Amino acid sequence: MTHLLAILLLAASPAELEASGLLTEAGTAWEERGDLPGQVRVMTNMLEDALYSADVRRAWLLAGELSQFGAEGALLDFWLARIAWGSGLRTEASEALARIESPDPWLHHRARGLSLLYGGNPREAATQLAISVSRAGTARRGFYASLDLCCALAASGETAKALEISELLCAMFPGDALARVMKGLCLQLSGQSAAAARELTSLSPGHPPGARNMAARLMREFAE
């Protein structure tokens, strides 16, 4: 089985590896091709994975690496504010996000939305995050804003809408573990515990560690 997996990985293109959620392998493949945008995109995906799973150390290291690749100041501020949230500095994170100014509407409204969500106003957060989704510019940016929108909708009690979006994300990004974790959470909140458990336990060792850790943590919380 290991030999077969190695053959499949060698045959896959960097883009296919990335789409399948094999981010480490995809990053190596892009590096071998000398494709800097591909490397940066994979590192950004890894950073988002770390942020959603509250892996503060990994997120901090990745943010530092991305700053060397020329990530804009407002985007770095956005990541640092979310790292602060993962470190337990919730008020500081919300205030830092509210201060972010960017000409990029995707980033501007996403920062506003997360500031409102962290500050306990999920309904207004959902409004801002929906705008961020509509102004994303790329499918990947829309994906991350949609994950945040799911969180805001779930927090405001609109679990049916959150589940609908999570199912759409799974269909559009079938190889992404974060979409499946979000769907598992939404299923649980919708009262579908068995389906949630199946979704959250379906991740393989090849998926990013943050998503797998997040799924395992949710399963423990659901069991309590």
The tokens describing 38, both together, are 């591909």
In-domain check, residue 145: yes
CB–CB of 189/162 below 8 Å? yes
Proportion of the chain above pLDDT 70, given as a percent: 85
In-domain check, residue 141: yes
Q: Given pLDDT bands bounded at 50, 70 and 90, which one contains residue 11? A: very low
From residue 109, how far is each of 85, 115, 181, 190 by CA, in Å?
18, 10, 24, 27
In-domain check, residue 147: yes
Q: Distance (Å, rounded) from C-alpha 16 to C-alpha 101?
A: 35
Of 166, 159, 161, 162, the C-alpha closest to 181 is: 166
Q: How many domains does the chain have?
A: 1
As a whole number, the mean pLDDT across the chain is 86
In-domain check, residue 96: yes
In-domain check, residue 70: no
- Torsion angle (degrees, nearest 10) of CA 171, 176, 202, 6: 120
In-domain check, residue 190: no
- pLDDT of the residue at 31: 64
Residue-wise pLDDT tens digits, 116-169 = 999 999 999 999 999 999 999 888 889 999 999 999 999 999 999 999 999 999
pLDDT higher than threshold 70 for residue 30: no
Class of residue 57 by CB neighbours under 10 A (exposed 0-12, middle 13-18, buried 19+) = exposed
For residues 4-33, average pLDDT: 57
Domain of 107, in residue numbers: 89-157
Helix (H) or strand (E) holding 112: helix 105-118
In-domain check, residue 182: no
Query: For the chain, how are helix, strand and coil distributed in percent, rounded to 5?
Result: 80, 0, 20
Q: Given pLDDT bands bounded at 50, 70 and 90, which one contains residue 26? A: low
- pLDDT of the residue at 27: 60
Residue-wise pLDDT tens digits, 173-206 = 887 889 999 999 999 999 999 999 999 998 888 7
Q: Quick count: other Cβ atoms within 10 Å of Cβ 164? A: 14
Which range has the worst mean pLDDT, 18-22, 66-70, 161-165?
18-22
pLDDT higher than threshold 80 for residue 36: no
pTM, rounded to two decimals: 0.85
For residues 34-44, average pLDDT: 74
In-domain check, residue 16: no
